[in-house]
Amino acid sequence: MKDWITILTFTYPHEAHLAKGKLESEGVEVQITDEMTVQVHNFYSNAIGGVKLLVRETDIQKANQILIDSGYVKPQNQTDNKFLNWIDKFTARLPLIGKTIIEIRLIAFIMIILILIAIPFVLLSIPSKLERLTENSWCIDKLYYKGQELTPNSLGLRMDSQYDNCSETMNFRENGVVTFPGIDSYGDRCRWEIRNDSLIISEWNINDNYILGDNLEIIEKEQSTEKSIYHGAYSLEIKNNLIKMQSDNLIILGKVYRFNFRF
């Protein structure tokens, strides 16, 4: 069997015998192997590679042409599917999969295309830093003013949570208003904006004479000109559920806060 080469395989023995008869009628000597195994157990056919049709090595070219002419084999350079032909040529140059069969290369090519299509949608679905800033309330974990740790302690309205031990938060609203906790005082309302990649916190008031109180009532503006410790230009980092704001004087560390009000 040393000079015998498998030229074609079939699922069922009768298919192999039809091809064998055609080759022998053209003067080509043929042998069939694994026929008995498949006859006894048909479901073994795929497992053992099917029923094998063998010809002598010297007859391969002649046998191939006979099988092509008889319709048993499709010419290697002929395909009715231009897309598959293009895929075959294109993917043959790809690393790792270029040497594999066309079916595997086709699957890999489709997966690559799907990933490339999905990437923009995934990126667009990720909230921007600005969206995350305004869509969440932020629990303040640490607050350092000029290197000294401060403990926020707002007077007036308080907020308790059933999820964690956090009653001091900051909230950035889309209208440009941000609320900060007080330091043994009422909470501080400021104006915020993003400017040149910096978070700018500045004074906020509705006019020259009035400001909003903690319970959102209009009260007379205090005559004090004391500047809030929160005013300044901050670098802003939001990673996972954590936030870090840092200016020349103040560092604020916090996390996303899930809360419910309790008066």
Better pLDDT: 181 or 223: 181
pLDDT tens-digit readout, 164-200:
567 788 999 988 999 999 888 888 889 999 888 899 9
Tell me which residue range forms the domain holding 44.
1-78
Task: Give the integer Cα–Cα distance in Å for 253 and 245.
Answer: 7
Q: Same structural domain for residues 248 and 183? A: yes
pLDDT the model gives residue 209: 43
> Do 70 and 89 belong together in one domain?
no
pLDDT, greater one: 53 or 205: 53
The pLDDT of residue 214 is above 50: no
101-139 pLDDT tens trace: 777 778 888 888 888 888 877 766 666 788 888 888 899
134 in the same domain as 212: yes
Same domain, 152 and 238: yes
Judged against a pLDDT cut of 60, whether residue 6 lies above it is answered with yes
Helix (H/G/I), strand (E/B), else coil: 24 = helix
Residues 91 and 74 placed together within one structural domain of the fold = no
Q: How many domains does the chain have?
A: 3
Whether the pLDDT of residue 208 is over 50: the answer is no
Asked if residue 146 and residue 238 are part of one domain, the reply reads yes
- In this predicted structure, the answer to whether residue 250 has a pLDDT above a threshold of 90 is yes
Phi and psi based region of residue 232 (left: phi greater than 0; alpha: psi -120 to 50; beta: remaining): left
Split at pLDDT 50, 70, 90, the class of 224 is: very low
Are residues 196 and 209 in contact, defined by beta-carbon separation less than 8 angstroms? no
More confident residue, 220 or 197: 197
Total count of residues recorded for the chain: 263
Same domain, 166 and 243: yes
246 and 156 assigned to the same domain: yes
pTM: 0.47
Considering the domain boundaries, does residue 235 fall inside one? yes
Of 33 and 222, more confident: 33
Q: Considering only 45-54, 175-184, 198-207, 229-238, which range has the smallest mean pLDDT?
A: 45-54
